[in-house]
Amino acid sequence: MFSTNIRCFLSQICLCLLLFSPTAYADDAQISFSQGVKEYKQGHYVDALNYFLVAENKGYQSSQLFHNLGVVYLKLDQLDQARKNFLETLRYPSIAALGNYNLGLIALKRGNTELANTHFTKVIRISQDPNLTILAQRQLLKDAATNRPIQSWKVLTKVSRGYDDNVNFSPEDVGSGIRDAYTELLLYGTVMFTKNQPIGLGLDAYVYDVNYDDVDANNYTQNAFLLKFPIQYERWLLQPGLIAQWSRYGGTGYQKTKGFEFSSRYFKTPSSHYLAKYSYEDIESLNNRYNFLEGSRQRLKLENQYSYKAYKTNVYYELENNDRTDRGNASYSPLRNTISGQLTYAINSSFTANGNIKYRISDYERIKTFSRHDKQLQFSWGGEFKFNKHVSLKGIHTWTKNNSSKSFRKYKRHRVALNLQLIY
pLDDT digits (tens, 9 = 90+) for 235-291: 788 999 999 999 999 989 999 999 999 999 998 776 788 999 999 999 999 999 999
Q: What are phi and psi of 69, to 5 degrees?
A: -60, -40
Q: Which residues contact 244 (CB under 8 A, 6 or more apart)?
A: 224, 225, 257, 258
pLDDT-derived band at 59, boundaries 50, 70, 90: confident
Read off the pTM: 0.69
Task: Output the pLDDT for position 2.
Answer: 39
Q: If you average pLDDT over residues 340-361, what whole number do you get?
A: 95
- Give the residue with greater pLDDT, 339 vs 22: 339
The CATH number given to 2-146 is: 1.25.40.10
Q: Please report, rounded to a whole number, the percentage of residues in the chain having pLDDT higher than 90.
A: 54
Question: For the chain, what is the mean pLDDT?
Answer: 87
Task: Output the pLDDT for position 13.
Answer: 45
- The three-state (H, E, C) secondary structure of 355-391, written as one string: EEEEEEEEEECCECCECCEEEEEEEEEEEEEECCCCE
CA-based nearest residue to 378, from 405, 352, 396: 396
Looking from the CA of 270 toward its CB, the CA atoms found within 13 Å total 24
Above 70 in pLDDT, residue 304? yes
Task: Output the pLDDT for position 188.
Answer: 96
pLDDT-derived band at 390, boundaries 50, 70, 90: very high
Above 90 in pLDDT, residue 205? yes
pLDDT-derived band at 56, boundaries 50, 70, 90: confident
The CATH number given to 153-423 is: 2.40.160.40
pLDDT digits (tens, 9 = 90+) for 11-37: 444 434 444 445 444 467 788 888 888
Q: If you average pLDDT over residues 315-340, what whole number do you get?
A: 92
Partners of 212 in beta bridges: 182
Spell out the domain ranges in the chain: 2-146, 153-423
Task: Output the pLDDT for position 270.
Answer: 65
Cβ–Cβ under 8 Å, residues 299 and 336:
no
Above 80 in pLDDT, residue 99? yes
CA-based nearest residue to 67, from 13, 3, 1, 114: 13
Task: Output the pLDDT for position 90.
Answer: 92
Task: Output the pLDDT for position 182.
Answer: 96
- Common-topology check for domains 2-146 and 153-423: no
Task: Output the pLDDT for position 6.
Answer: 42
Q: Please report, rounded to a whole number, the percentage of residues in the chain having pLDDT higher than 70.
A: 90
Task: Output the pLDDT for position 112.
Answer: 86
pLDDT digits (tens, 9 = 90+) for 133-163: 888 887 877 765 554 445 578 899 999 999 9
Partners of 325 in beta bridges: none
Task: Output the pLDDT for position 285.
Answer: 95
Above 80 in pLDDT, residue 172? no
Q: What are phi and psi of 296, to 5 degrees?
A: -135, 160
